[in-house]
Structure 1
Amino acid sequence: MDRQQLEIGCHAKIEGLDTSYGYVPTLGAGIAYCVLFGISMILHTFQFCWKRTWWASVFSVGCLVEVIGWAGRTWSSECPYNSTAFLMQISTLIIAPTFFTAGIYVILGRFIQVLGRESSILKPSLYLWIFCTCDVISLVIQAIGGGLASGEASKIDGNTAPGTHIMVAGIVFQLFSITIFVICAADFVRRCLRLRLLQNLDGSAIPLFAATILSVICIYIRSIYRTIELSQGWSGYLITHESYFIALDGAMMIVAVAVFNVLHPGWLLPRNVAASKREAPSVDDVELNHSTEHK
């Protein structure tokens, strides 16, 4: 039986013949993450419909894409050579976090509106436009690279290197853009603490603030992992050891999105912009207070 027949059919692992993964995906992990992301998707759909926070549908869409990806890995656990299952999971699991970051951009922008312009180096609307644009560009580059690499992989002695390099360039650009976002978010947190802006938030908004920070950290860890993984190539250590993928992609993403099921922005996101802006102290006020205290 040749390689092409293996890729279009469903055949168990053959001793001495490697799969595209370098291993056979674990069935239990695939099912578990399909269930977890499926539950989160159902909850997010119910929550954004109930509170009519339609923009929060991005979390549901992201979960759906994750379910499709992990379904592909579940399929691969039974049919490890099937190329459709492999491409199904690799394309969707790269795209899915983009929907989660889009939701975070909206949440952060709302916090900036509430706490005042002095809380951020960027205007609230710029977070969505700049970083979503960067995400789309990186995904297009990755899609082009992935398409070229997969096309060569299906050929005998095909050269996957050019496509892989393009794909890596896309994910490096994505890591660069999310690093800039993390720096901006860290500066936002620093300003909030320095100017004591969090005192102007309702008590219910503080947990959402913390949830957003946790989600950003998880997505950033996953981005660093995927960048290193793909830069090592299709036969690298990280990409051929499933435990890293389960922990640093799957687990990070379920925490990043499920935390908003527990602390949903539809319930907790502050709404009273005008009042908060009036109450928020300016930089001059804080410096004046500090100098008065020292005297």
Structure 2
Amino acid sequence: MAEEKFSLWHGPPSIPAAATFAVLFAITSFYHTWQAYRLRSKFMIAFIIGGYFEVGGYIGRIAAHSNLTSMGIYIWQTLLLLLSPTLFAASIYMTLGRIILHTRGEHLAPIARTKLTKIFVIGDIFSFIVQSGGGAMMSKASSQNTGKVIVLIGLAIQVIMFGIFIGTSAVFHKRLSTSPTTESSNAPWKKYMYGLYVTSALIFIRSVFRILEFQGGHNGVLMTTEFFIYIFDAAPMLGVMLVFNLVHPGELISSYKNVDGTPLSHV
């Protein structure tokens, strides 16, 4: 039994690497917390939680360095790092809806704004639940293979949803550029759309990596080489957070009012 637990890890996780990313994610998460408070961007709460998930995940890898037989620590860091991108995605989806509303471009969106956010967020929640269930099942040797399959399904859902989302965003972008509204002419909305493209692409790349990693199995090269998780997971997710630090959607919409006078950022 001890050997099976030990095989959870292919050598002790690197403390310097995990500590570096834990600190970097903590810094950007704290800054996001302040930005959301200052700009009253409640729709970014899921994004911020995702940032703290990343911090917790890499702290878990630090803890695992001297606790290679602990199943609890292994599942802790696996789930936090696996699920954080779904939380980032939820805020990214909501951001597009607010850009559409801010520019009064509802008639140009390929999917009605009121339905768009619901469709993508519901899909994101479903992906979150599926991945959570699969990750939990992987904690038991008897259900490890089934859990891996379920996680792969959850990741596939995430990739498909992001593919559709990027396409939807591009269609709206092209239509609004061709037929600009008065509101869009007076706001730097394109900067925030490009922010959505970059963050979406980074999460897309990371999700594809995770699919390949799980497909390769526990003894596959992607799962046995720690370097890859930092290049194709940690770095892209840190990039997502930094992009939104620099191009924070709350800066575009925090002072904008709906018809009834309600701050858009509170919707």
Alignment TM class, shorter chain as reference: 0.7 to 0.9
Instruction: Give 2:2's aligned amino acid.
Output: R
Alignment of 1:137-148 (within 5 A): 137-148=126-137
- Identify if the C-alpha distance between structure 1 residues 142 and 203 changes in structure 2 by more than 3 Å, giving closer, same or farther: closer
C-alpha spacing 1:192/1:237, structure 2 compared with 1 (3 Å) = farther
Report how far residue 169 of structure 1 moved: 1.9
Residue 8 (structure 2) pairs with residue 3 (structure 1): no
TM-score (norm 2): 0.86
Paired residues of 1:145 and 1:162 also in contact (CA < 8 A) = yes
- Flag the structure with larger Rg: 1
The answer to which of 263-272 and 58-67 deviates more is 263-272
Q: Could you say what secondary structure the match of 1:133 adopts?
A: helix
Fraction of identical pairs, as percent? 26
Q: Describe the SS at the equivalent of 1:78.
A: coil
Task: Provide the C-alpha distance between the structure 1 equivalents of 2:18 and 2:202, rounded to a whole number of angstroms.
Answer: 20
C-alpha distance in 2, partners of 1:272/1:52?
13
Q: Does 1:149 align with 2:138?
A: yes
Tell me the equivalent position of 2:202.
Answer: 218
Mapped contact 2:26–2:51 kept (Cα < 8 A): yes
Instruction: Determine the structure 2 residue equivalent to 1:176.
Output: 160
1:248–1:197 Cα change, 3 Å: farther
Residue segments in structure 2 that go unaligned for 5+ positions in a row:
260-267
Pick closer, same or farther for the CA change 1:200–1:68 going to 2, 3 Å.
Answer: same
8 A contact 1:107–1:269 mirrored in 2: no
Q: Which residue of 2 aligns with 1:134?
A: 123
Letter in 2 for 1:73: R
Cα separation, partners in 2 of 1:188 and 1:241, compared to 1, 3 Å: farther
More deviation, 177-186/94-103? 177-186
User: Distance in 2 between the 1:182 and 1:41 partners?
Assistant: 25
In the alignment, does 2:91 pair up with 1:103?
Answer: yes
CA distance in 2 between partners of 1:216 and 1:138 (Å): 16
Q: Which residue of 1 aligns with 2:19?
A: 31
**Matches of 1:220 and 1:197, distance apart in 2:** 30
The whole-number CA distance in structure 2 between the counterparts of 1:173 and 1:56 is 22
* TM-score, structure 1 as length reference: 0.78
Q: Structure 1 residues 57, 139: closer, same or farther in 2, change over 3 A?
A: closer
Provide the residue aligned with 2:79 in structure 1.
91
Which ranges in structure 1 are unaligned for 5 or more consecutive residues?
8-17, 153-157, 275-295
